[in-house]
Structure 1
């Protein structure tokens, strides 16, 4: 038993050394993928040759993308039945490139479709329309019931062009983005502006002075202040969350009252009630880009960056689905 304990301790020390030396997050050890990897390594036994830099970077990344594509087929089948929402949002990386994320939402979840470097076209409504129209065609016009983007002026024009060409779908501005803009306008009203400005001054003062912050934490028993920069979408999320929490009850009520009276009405209801009203899935996806697009990796070409995010985002979706199924 002592030998077994010593052997395990030496292995754990080396695993921890790898984690510490590469600044990997501690919660890596909670990942089912990490546990699965160790299991397969142990089953292989002595003589396992580690993957080469090239293998990780090229062939096995491609194999992972191909495998994920196969696992997403069940979502594509659902799109044909329930319809889906195409969501897109933009982001500027550390090199100043404008990247646009495309995700697809349906009742079973949101999948990451692709990311495209739109630096040369992002301010051209016509070219952005052509790009968005191409993605709709790729998904299938009959499958796309709605396209959700932010409410920026150029996207309003793009949405109008898209509705004119694709009469079976409609464009919607992101509800969370709209609420954020509304709250921003409300905050500019004199009755609120001074209060908000003073609150920002207080939080800024506290968090910029270590001794004041330590004193505050002593009296607040470790509770943090909610700073405006951190809670950009907080109110919008709370609003949308209340709708999401009652989603099943709303659907049940609808079907009990009207669902059995018409086949065409049933199909329409399934498509409408399966839609999302927000593109916040795109916002959440930028955190994945931040993880992949570190200073050490910011020379990644767009195609490989897209592949890495595609695998990471959709692997997480697959793991969440497994947890739900187990429950």
Structure 2
């Protein structure tokens, strides 16, 4: 029964296709098809003319030329077809042409003015190109408007409407209009006559042009790669899962030029243990060149730490560095969200009150956000929006409580206004809790205290959550951070720049590097790894002694005075030539980041390219798209045009991007690349307001 149904369905489909083909190509019924012309013959077939009974080979075009007695078409004319038959066949062809035109999708009219709208509406089955040609002819009649005639106003309006229609139907953000590549594409098309040009289609974009662009971007990156041997690089890595739950590990190379995306590896079916991660990093190190690599940075997971130890064993001059931002965030989480487990009882006893304060803030926020009337009242008192900060965001609790302090006055006005107090809420206990919490000075004092002692940690996260060189600053910042936290706590509980003299006197307890026991001990270990040869290490120690004691070439007065004012790498470039070993080492170390944040932010790019709407992209094509997208951003941000008003920061911020205080830009759940990319590393963007007004 099933086989009969299947056979009937196939026959029905075949008959329908044949009928449709005969409707569009009616001359086939005047010949008898004998079969395919052979393999590789395309649409050619053998057929027999019913008028002259001659067997021919060719496609429908040659059937038409044969029957209509058209010469120079590669086939002889039929000598026995009558004029009456030709007239009848031409009528059938005209009817077929009309059927084909009617079957084409009708164009929806565009909102252009005057005759343009009329012509667009009347275009019916015409193609957009035909409508465009009609508009060009039509403008010749607009003699009453010489300005419009001089600037092709009708054609320009038509093009504007076509572009706007593309934006609206594809759901493109308006910020896309800032993209300089979008602008340059249309400028090129307008400034060059390309008759009959059609934009690249689906397959060409995803294959040939994608490969071509990736190859071109790789060539553009070569000048940056050529600096790696002198400046040194850091290799950073992080893991993620794509929309199809495939585990991915990305690898990026960071230098003082910025982070460069190298690859993303699909780890499906692999155990992500220390050996697998180490082998992945080792391949990248070998591709880059191990002499160019200063360190690898990953998070603090046990398998990553073990992989780092393996790398240090294979390459003694390469160091594994745990991500400073990840370390600090774990510390903040353990303080602000302490878990009540046996191994963490002491911390929980001391810090559980912080968790309670944060939960209260979340409850207040949810109460306001979940009641439309209360939310409308809140907006009358506050110009800042409530934030929904994702738990995965660095320092999420601190960000949430900071916003609460900024809107403290607005919240208090809200819960005390007559309209709010008279509002009938089903759950009166929740409303009372919100009112009591917001009006409690004791609760606000706790919030203030939390922000006070976490501020040094948060500020260090802000400094380190960048791609900028700051590795050389971490040690001193860490010590200073701990001292600042202690001071805030002791005050509350009522308990009693570059190694210059000025820098040493600025901070309490600061010591010169050669007088700090811990620094000296670690420096000796590093010298052994960087300079394995006895003679070379002896020379390096001698150079360091001169640097520390300000003797020899380092005793120059300008050299000593400049230690405080001049940026460290520039100082070594100006005064370090007499110590070539230390100078070379300084150029590499002083140019390294201290976190793997760029590899984590790269997943924002990945989720933008490989979203839930585009979840059928295979890993290789998604990797190519991310490679192009990320590295073009790297190249673009170094250009002057990137800061021009018309294309200013075109790759950051969506339609709602204005002042960070006016938008909920910290809500990672929005899933917008530009917002997710706006991390703590770009505080200068927080005050950016684009030139034109943005309607929200």
| Distance in 2 separating the partners of 1:136 and 1:320 | 26
Partner of 2:282: 133
Q: 1:31 aligns with which of 176, 179, 185?
A: 179
Between stretches 183-192 and 79-88, larger displacement belongs to: 183-192
Measured at CA, do residues 102 and 210 of structure 1 come closer, stay the same or move farther in structure 2, by a change above 3 Å? farther
Conserved in 1, the CA contact under 8 Å of 2:469 and 2:594? no
1:152 matched residue in structure 2: 301
User: Which of 167, 172, 175 is equivalent to 1:19?
Assistant: 167
Whether the 8 Å CA contact 1:200–1:228 is kept in 2: the answer is no
- Whether the aligned pair in 1 keeps the contact of 2:233 and 2:253 (CA below 8 Å) is yes
| TM-score (norm: length of structure 1) | 0.91
| Cα deviation, residue 250, structure 1 | 4.3
Contact 2:240 2:603 in 1 (8 A): yes
Task: Describe the SS at the equivalent of 2:290.
Answer: coil
Q: Does 1:281 align with 2:430?
A: no
In angstroms, what is the RMSD of aligned CA positions?
Answer: 2.6
Displacement, 1:325?
9.2
**3-state secondary structure, aligned to 1:142:** helix
Deviates most, 248-257 or 21-30: 248-257
d(CA) in 2 for partners of 1:292, 1:311: 11
Residue of structure 2 equivalent to 1:218: 380
The match for 1:110 among 255, 259, 274 is 259
Residue number in structure 1 paired with 2:362? 200
Between Structure 1 and Structure 2, the one with more helix by share is: 1
Task: Note closer, same or farther for the CA distance 1:252–1:66 as it changes in structure 2 (3 Å cut).
Answer: closer
Counterparts in 2 of 1:200 and 1:305: CA distance versus 1, 3 Å: same
- Structure 1 pair 209/99, CA: closer, same or farther in 2 (3 Å)? farther
Distance (Å, rounded) in 1 between the aligned partners of 2:466 and 2:624: 34
- Structure 1 runs (4+) deviating above 6 angstroms are 245-248, 324-327
1:88–1:101 contact (8 Å) kept in structure 2:
yes
Structure 2 unaligned blocks of 5 or more: 1-146, 339-350, 396-457, 474-564, 645-696
Deviations 1:119-157 (Å, cap 9, x if unpaired)?
Answer: 333532211211111111111111111101111121111
Whole-Å separation in 1 of the counterparts to 2:292 and 2:573: 26
State the distance in 2 between where 1:47 and 1:255 align: 60
Rounded to whole Å, the distance in 2 between the matches of 1:243 and 1:50 is 38
Deviation at 1:50, TM superposition (A): 1.4
| Structure 2 counterpart of 1:233, from 365, 389, 394 | 394
> Helix, strand or coil for the counterpart of 1:179?
helix
Distance 1:173 1:119, change over 3 A: farther
Q: Displacement of 1:318 after TM fit?
A: 1.1
Contact preservation (8 Å) 1:121, 1:128:
no
Residues 290-299 or 236-245, more deviating: 236-245
The residue number in structure 1 matching 2:148 is 2
- Could you tell me which residue of structure 2 aligns to residue 294 of structure 1? 611
Change (3 A) 1:37 1:122: farther
1:266/1:112 Cα in 2 relative to 1: closer, same or farther (>3 Å)?
Answer: same
* Residues 468, 593 of structure 2: 8 Å contact kept: no
- Give the number of equivalent residue pairs: 326
| 8 Å contact kept, 1:175–1:278 | yes
Q: Rg larger in 1 or in 2?
A: 2
Residue 257 and residue 108 in structure 1: after superposition, are their counterparts in 2 closer, same or farther (change >3 A)?
Answer: closer
> Are the aligned partners of 2:256 and 2:591 in contact in 1 as well (CA < 8 Å)?
yes
Counterpart-to-counterpart distance in 2, 1:302 and 1:24: 24
1:251-289 deviation line (CA, Å, top 9, x unaligned): 268539973440110000000001000111112211211
Aligned residue number for residue 166 of structure 1? 315
Q: SS of 1:296's equivalent?
A: helix
Separation in structure 2 between the aligned mates of residue 288 and residue 325 of structure 1, nearest angstrom? 19
Q: 1:262 to 1:245 in 2, by over 3 A?
A: closer
Provide closer, same or farther for how the CA distance between residues 193 and 250 of structure 1 changes in structure 2, counting only shifts above 3 A: farther
- SS of match in other structure, 2:282: helix
Deviations 1:6-29 (A, max 9, x none): 321211111011111011111111
Deviation of residue 232 (structure 1)?
2.1
Give the CA deviation at 1:299: 0.9
**Distance in structure 2 (CA, Å) of the matches to 1:47 and 1:86:** 48
Give me the whole-angstrom Cα distance separating, in 1, the residues matched to 2:171 and 2:313. Answer: 51
Aligned CA distance change for structure 1 residues 29 and 206 (closer, same or farther; 3 Å):
same
Q: Deviations over 1:49-104 (max 9, x none)?
A: 21121110101100000000001111211111111011111111111111111111
Distance 1:177 1:281 in 2: 12
Asked if residue 262 in structure 1 is aligned to residue 567 in structure 2, the reply is: no
Tell me which moved more, 235-244 or 289-298. 235-244
CA 290–178 in structure 1, closer or farther in 2 if over 3 Å, else same: same
